[in-house]
Amino acid sequence: MTDPILVVTPDESLRDALMLALSGEGYEVCAARSADAARQMLENRPFEIIVCELEMRGRRGQPLVSELARHSTVVALSSQDDPELEASGFGAYAIVHKPVPSTELILALRQARERGRLKQENRLLRRDLARSLGERPIVAASNSMIELLETLERASAHESVVLLTGERGTGKEVLARAIHGQSPRRRHNFVAVHCGASEQQLAIELFGHVKGAFAGAERNRLGLMLEAAGGTLYLDEVGSLPPDLQTSLLRALQEEEISPIGDSKPRSIDVRVLASTSTPLEQEVEAGRFREDLFRRLSGIELIAPPLRDRRKDIPLLVDHFIGHFRHALGCTARGIADDALERLVAYDWPGNIRELENAIERAMISSRRDRITRRDLPAGIVDPNPSAGDTGEDLGLKRARRAAEADVIRRALHATGGNRTHAAKRLEISHRALLYKLKEYGIRD
């Protein structure tokens, strides 16, 4: 089945004839009889190609074709027998004159679809090039990561605050840098700050200070929110922000200005904010540790970085990437990995996610004296993930057991409520949003 085509015309007989002809060619066809109906359908689903009458009018009396061409490739139908009439003047791909010969229209649609395919291939090539130019390329083949990267690319084009959530070590900063690298702000600074520092140190780093603002302030210091002017400020583990700084950050985001410590004169800021957290902020809000209004401000777009155990298809690609990186960075001899060693890596649960995998490959590369990493080069906890009681592996076993138990309780709550998430959240005594986060975290499909 091909992507759907939208036919827009008030002429019922023409509409029926077009739907019959296009359906016979294997197209999925939807129809709208007015400009308002077409707009409503475009809000509900995208259409790669639209067939629309040239004489129809849109907002402010402008040709509807020109309005629709901002969203899709448009083939216009015209009753004007004017050879000087040019499709480009209306933003359309082609003009087919009425009465509509089906062969001419089908040819125009095929050409329009091929044009769209080439544009999509070109866009994907540009996207892959932009990703490869980053400091740390994103390696992905799993469906969950491909979907995430598609959403990330769309988010990059906007100025909205993006909140990256997920377990520690899942590569949230790499994703943040990818957003910046594909955004209109990519030629300016990407500035990262970890929010786990002390309140005083964080205030100085974010807002800066003037000379003499406090003991030891011997000169002016530019804060990171000003240093990132025109670029992106990345707040790592934003859930760790002390309460007073949460208030200051909220005010800065709302007013788009800050006051350096010791200076009463506010200064305008021009910065896009990206934030990350490994702790669900919804739970922090419910516990009274995080401001709800700041949470709402930060979670305009939320992207969830999946744990490595949920994207095992990516592990062989990541292993190859890290082997190539450390072979050049450390001058190691290994150029690949034995099949049984790779099988062990794919089977392991990776509680430390990508960061743990990277460390494991670095250690294996240093240990190996062969051209391939073998099982004996891997850390013992990965080769034997179930060590005897008393060593550090037992804690990881307890974590897995707790996760399994929590997932089981959630599944039973969903079953008891017939899949109603709102009622299930009430039974579990958590918020609806927290339930959605856990469903995503555990991969539960109700």
Range list for CATH 1.10.8.60 in the chain: 311-383
Radius of gyration of the chain (CA): 28
- The predicted pLDDT at position 427 comes to 82
Range list for CATH 3.40.50.2300 in the chain: 5-121
Range list for CATH 3.40.50.300 in the chain: 143-304
Q: Which two tokens stand for residue 391?
A: 């060593």
Spatial CA neighbour of 87 closest among 52, 116, 60: 52
* CATH code at 311-383: 1.10.8.60
Contacts of 258 (CB under 8 A, 6+ apart): 206, 207, 223, 225, 226, 248, 252, 266, 267, 269
The pLDDT tens digits along the chain (446 residues) read 456 899 999 988 888 888 888 888 888 899 999 999 998 888 877 788 999 988 888 887 778 888 888 778 889 888 876 666 677 677 888 888 887 767 888 888 888 887 776 666 555 455 444 444 445 568 788 888 988 998 998 999 889 999 999 999 999 999 999 999 999 999 898 999 999 888 888 999 999 988 888 888 888 888 899 989 899 999 999 999 999 999 999 999 999 999 899 888 888 999 999 999 999 999 999 999 999 999 999 988 999 999 999 999 899 989 999 999 899 888 888 889 998 899 999 999 999 999 999 999 999 999 888 889 999 999 888 887 665 444 444 444 555 666 777 777 888 788 777 788 888 888 887 877 777 777 777 777 65
* CATH code at 393-442: 1.10.10
What is the phi-psi region of residue 303: left when phi exceeds 0, alpha when psi lies from -120 to 50, beta otherwise?
beta
Q: Which two tokens stand for residue 17?
A: 């004839």
pTM of the model: 0.58
* CATH code at 5-121: 3.40.50.2300
- The predicted pLDDT at position 131 comes to 45
Spatial CA neighbour of 22 closest among 4, 47, 40: 4
Contacts of 441 (CB under 8 A, 6+ apart): 304, 307
Q: Quick one: 26 exposed, middle or buried, by C-beta within 10 A (0-12, 13-18, 19+)?
A: exposed
Q: Give the span between the Cα atoms of 277 and 305, in whole angstroms.
A: 10
Spatial CA neighbour of 374 closest among 346, 339, 328: 339
Range list for CATH 1.10.10 in the chain: 393-442
What's phi and psi for 279, nearest 5 deg?
A: -110, 125
* CATH code at 143-304: 3.40.50.300
